[in-house]
Amino acid sequence: MATSVHAPPGPVRLFVSEAGQISAFAMRAIRVAFQPPFELREVTHQISMAGWRSLPLVMTSGFAIGVVLSMHTRATMERFGAAAMIPAALATSLIAETGPLMTGLLVSGRVGAGIGAELGGMRVTEQIDALESLAVDSFHYLVVTRIIACMIALPILTTVMNASGMIGGFLAETAMSQVSLRLYLQAAFADIGFMDYILPTLKTVVFGFIIGTVSAYLGYTTTGGSEGIGRASTRSVVMSSMILIVVNVILVRIIFLLFPAGAL
């Protein structure tokens, strides 16, 4: 009789339970974010950590993606005699989907893992408890600042990713067809509207919120010593990436519904 009361929860219940806890954590972060103190110094520091130091990774990845996309697009377009449309296809692909999603996944891997490990370490070593004992709102100071930093850094990193991809695509394209930069840019932006550019970029604000929230939750609630830190770091990357990909589908659908003409 007693065994049925204390039986371990199943995977579905665990998933639903954790989803609820993350949602509560996110709601708390949103609520606290609008309450002083705003911890701008820490936000600045976290933007520097999440954004500035992610630039090499994002720029390199973006450049490589641009080159690869250009080559793949050329191989396809040339079959239809539409080589002139390669810049437009490359720009559309990068700005609409590839740039935001790849930036989110890269930041999830680098920053999300860092946040999970850092906060997990602070939890395990009772540094968070120490801050609390000093009357410092650890949630406000450690969690909200990181979420805000991710939300600010992601759109900027996405823009950098898009620009790097366009440069890489141009270099690959001019190596193949000697196209000029002016013609390349004119062709690239020929079929892109404002909404095609702004909405996918702003979409990454949500990605930043997801990365910051999931990573901070997993680190902030870490248990089990150093093993728990590693688990929190790994789960931060996996969970934030999965949620990010799923949410991306939902966001694209919402954009299509709200802006049918300009949505991609």
Partner 1 sequence: MASTDRAAMGAFVIGGLLLFGLGLFLIGDRRMLFSASHEYYTEFAQVSALEVGAKVRVGGMNAGEVIEIRVPRGPKSTFRVKFKIVEKLFSVVRLDSVASIATDGLLGNKFLLVDIGTTTLAPPGCTLPSREPFEIGDLLARIRSTVSNIDMTVGAVKGDVTNATQTVADTAKHVDQIVVAIQDPMDRFTIAVSRISEDAGAILARVRAGEGTLGRLVNDPAVYNSLSASATEVQRVMENVGQASSDVRALVSRFKSGDMPADIERTVKNVGESSERVKVLVSAFQPGPGGGDGAGADLRATLGSAREAMSDLAENLEALKHSFFFRGFFKDRGFYDLGSLSPVEYQSKQFESNVTKQRVWMRQDELFALKAGGGEELSDAGKARLDAVMANFLRFTKDRAIIVEGYVVAGTLDDQFLRSRERAMKVRTYLIRKFALSPDYVGAMPMGAVAAYGDGVALVLLKK
Give the residues lining the site for partner 1 (CB under 8 A). Answer: 41, 44-45, 47-49, 51-53, 55, 80, 82, 85, 95, 152-153, 155-157, 159-160, 162-163, 185-186, 189-194, 197-198, 201, 261-262
Q: 78 or 191, CB closer to partner 1?
A: 191
Q: 171 or 198, CB closer to partner 1?
A: 198
Minimal distance in Å, beta carbon 204 to partner 1? 11
Minimal distance in Å, beta carbon 117 to partner 1? 20
Give the up-direction half-sphere exposure of residue 17: CA atoms within 13 A in the CB hemisphere. 7
Minimal distance in Å, beta carbon 2 to partner 1? 55
Classify 22 as helix, strand or coil: helix
Q: 28 or 45, CB closer to partner 1?
A: 45
Minimal distance in Å, beta carbon 63 to partner 1? 14
Distance CA 8, CA 147 (A): 32
Minimal distance in Å, beta carbon 170 to partner 1? 13
Q: 66 or 228, CB closer to partner 1?
A: 66
List Cα–Cα distances, 38 to 23, 33, 43, 144, in angstroms: 22, 7, 8, 9
Closest CA to 103 of 241, 219, 10, 238: 241
The answer to whether 107 and 208 have CB atoms below 8 angstroms apart is yes
The answer to whether 111 and 51 have CB atoms below 8 angstroms apart is no
Q: 159 or 215, CB closer to partner 1?
A: 159
Burial pattern 148-168, b for ≥16 Cβ within 10 A else e, equals bbbbbbbbbbbbbbbbbbbbb
Which two tokens mark 18? 């954790």
